[in-house]
């Protein structure tokens, strides 16, 4: 019986789980979109049916193999072993970029030491190749202010907290999805799926979010649920968070927390609620927001406009002052809480809008002087 790599991984997850496991958890564990999980799960259901193994799926709960007798376990293990042998070489990343992402994911998902020799054996390359790949892995990790710990006779692991670990996992999941998959994940939120309840909560709270940011939020929400179910709650204290407790984003998160409790029996602590609230604020659209003037932003905005004029002799009309100030204010907020916006036009902007990009460098210079950190 020939099966795909994703089908095998889903069978392994179902075999290891003693309770219902959700689309969210499977997608996060494998690193694929929820739409792909829903497509693959139908194939898995047919595979199990052929083997006369009873499989149950329940809305808002997930999937489970009802009975795991020794005979059933042996049947499934035979399929797993056969397909692992058949596809062993096809599944191994064989170019540096793919190996680097593979090693990043391996390190991000483990809190134990991993020996470099074991990674080399797994990827069928030399230890020297892995050592060379680790140079680029370290460069990637520097973006998160994370570094690798080396311990003789034990191996390597990340010196990392739970929040940084989740950011890396989210970036890797997002990077593995094509723009087409991101679109379909977004589209699925409007169909009759468990995601629809989430999008309705966001809509009912009058939040405006782009399709790309919505996919990002759903990925991070699923990671929060999965990590809590694996007993890895967030413990980060977010500075000055109290000022956001009266926002519609916070009330949205309270609703999302109820969904997590009702559907997955997960209790979000205050750190989880703070994290998700700040994500909604930082990734949400600014078009419905009104600039609330503050001294720092106002001073930065005036300085930036003066810089633009002295550099280009372009005078930006006062009508745009509040909008520019709001963007600056939001950018400072993202920097403070280390959040970001994913931009699908990133590679085109410098070519298509070179002058606007040049003006943005002026903005970046002033923000870097104030915060000590450049814009992403």
In a domain, 168, yes or no: no
Q: What pLDDT was estimated at residue 73?
A: 79
Between CA 9 and CA 28 the distance in angstroms is 12
The CATH number of the domain holding residue 260 is 1.10.1790
Q: What pLDDT was estimated at residue 376?
A: 78
- Averaged pLDDT of the chain: 84
What's this model's pTM, rounded to 2 decimal places?
A: 0.74
Is there a single domain that holds both residue 210 and residue 243? Answer: yes
Is there a single domain that holds both residue 275 and residue 359? Answer: no
283, 314, 339 - which closes a domain = 283
Is there a single domain that holds both residue 85 and residue 104? Answer: no
DSSP characters for 199-268?
HHHHHHTT----HHHHHHHHHHHHHHHHHHHTT----PPPTTGGGGTTSHHHHHHHHHHHHHHHHH----
Cα–chain-centroid distance for residue 188? 17
Highest mean pLDDT: which range of 15-24, 103-112, 193-202: 103-112
Of 186-195, 245-254, 329-338, the poorest mean pLDDT is in 186-195
252, 283, 314 - which closes a domain = 283
Q: What pLDDT was estimated at residue 4?
A: 76
Is there a single domain that holds both residue 181 and residue 268? Answer: yes
Q: What pLDDT was estimated at residue 316?
A: 81
Region 252-261 average pLDDT: 93
Q: What pLDDT was estimated at residue 192?
A: 47
Q: Which residue has the higher pLDDT, 45 or 343?
A: 45
Is there a single domain that holds both residue 255 and residue 193? Answer: yes
Q: What pLDDT was estimated at residue 86?
A: 52
In a domain, 170, yes or no: no
Is there a single domain that holds both residue 80 and residue 13? Answer: yes
Q: What pLDDT was estimated at residue 89?
A: 44
Is there a single domain that holds both residue 181 and residue 279? Answer: yes
Is residue 109 pLDDT above 60, yes or no?
yes
Q: Which residue has the higher pLDDT, 341 or 249?
A: 249
Pair 324, 301: CB distance under 8 Å? yes
Measured over the CA atoms of residue 348, residue 353, residue 356 and residue 359, the dihedral's sign is positive
Is residue 85 pLDDT above 70, yes or no?
no
Domain that holds residue 80: 5-91
Q: What pLDDT was estimated at residue 20?
A: 86
In a domain, 167, yes or no: no
Of 148-152, 171-175, 331-335, 344-348, the poorest mean pLDDT is in 344-348
Is there a single domain that holds both residue 200 and residue 250? Answer: yes
DSSP state of 114: B
Of 69-73, 173-177, 263-267, the poorest mean pLDDT is in 173-177
Region 207-216 average pLDDT: 85
In a domain, 152, yes or no: yes
Is there a single domain that holds both residue 19 and residue 60? Answer: yes
Q: What pLDDT was estimated at residue 29?
A: 75
The CATH number of the domain holding residue 62 is 1.10.10.10
Angle at 369 between CA 366 and CA 371, to 5 degrees: 105
Phi then psi dihedrals of residue 149, to 5 deg: -95, 130
Q: What pLDDT was estimated at residue 28?
A: 74
Per residue in 279-325, pLDDT tens? 999 988 877 778 788 888 889 999 999 999 999 998 887 778 888 89
Is residue 362 pLDDT above 70, yes or no?
yes
Is there a single domain that holds both residue 250 and residue 181? Answer: yes
Is residue 233 pLDDT above 90, yes or no?
yes
Is there a single domain that holds both residue 85 and residue 100? Answer: no
In a domain, 289, yes or no: no
258, 283, 308 - which closes a domain = 283
Per residue in 132-166, pLDDT tens? 999 999 999 998 889 999 999 999 999 999 999 99
| Domains of the chain: total | 4
DSSP state of 64: E
User: With 0-12 CB in 10 A as exposed, 13-18 as middle and 19+ as buried, what is 171?
Assistant: buried
- How large a percentage of the chain has pLDDT more than 90? 29
Region 231-257 average pLDDT: 93
Binned at pLDDT 50, 70 and 90, residue 90 comes out as very low
In a domain, 202, yes or no: yes
Is there a single domain that holds both residue 86 and residue 105? Answer: no
């Amino acid at each position: 019986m020939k099966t795909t790599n994703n089908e095998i991984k889903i069978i392994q997850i179902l075999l290891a789980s003693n309770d219902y496991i959700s689309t969210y958890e499977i997608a996060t564990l494998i690193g694929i979109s929820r739409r792909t999980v829903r497509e693959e799960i139908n194939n898995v259901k047919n595979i199990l049916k052929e083997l006369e193994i009873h499989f149950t799926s329940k809305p808002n709960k997930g999937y489970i193999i009802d009975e795991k007798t020794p005979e059933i376990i042996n049947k499934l293990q035979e399929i797993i072993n056969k397909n692992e042998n058949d596809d062993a070489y096809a599944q191994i990343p064989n170019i540096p970029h793919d190996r680097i992402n593979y090693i990043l994911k391996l390190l991000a998902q483990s809190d134990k030491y991993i020996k470099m020799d074991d990674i080399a054996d797994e990827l069928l390359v030399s230890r020297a190749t892995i050592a060379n790949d680790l140079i680029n892995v370290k460069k990637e990790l520097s973006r998160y202010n994370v570094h690798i710990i080396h311990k003789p006779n034990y191996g390597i692991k990340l010196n990392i907290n739970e929040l940084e670990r989740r950011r890396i996992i989210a970036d890797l999941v997002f990077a593995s999805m094509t723009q087409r998959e991101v679109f379909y994940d977004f589209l699925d939120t409007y169909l009759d799926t468990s995601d629809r309840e989430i999008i309705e909560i966001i809509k009912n709270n009058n939040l405006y979010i782009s399709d790309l940011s919505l996919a990002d939020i759903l990925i991070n929400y699923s990671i929060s649920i999965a990590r809590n179910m694996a007993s890895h709650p967030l413990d980060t204290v977010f500075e000055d968070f109290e000022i956001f407790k009266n926002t519609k984003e916070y009330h949205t998160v309270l609703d999302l927390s109820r969904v997590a409790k009702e559907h997955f029996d997960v209790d979000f602590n205050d750190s989880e609620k703070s994290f998700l609230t700040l994500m909604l604020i930082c990734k949400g659209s600014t078009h419905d927001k009104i600039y609330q003037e503050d001294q720092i932003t106002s001073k930065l905005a005036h300085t930036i406009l003066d810089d633009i004029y002295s550099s280009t002799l372009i005078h930006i009309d006062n009508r745009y002052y509040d909008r520019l100030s709001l963007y600056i204010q939001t950018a400072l907020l993202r920097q403070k809480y280390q959040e970001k916006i994913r931009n699908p036009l990133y590679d085109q902007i410098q070519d298509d809008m070179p002058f606007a990009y040049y003006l943005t460098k002026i903005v970046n210079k002033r923000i870097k002087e104030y915060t000590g950190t450049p814009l992403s």
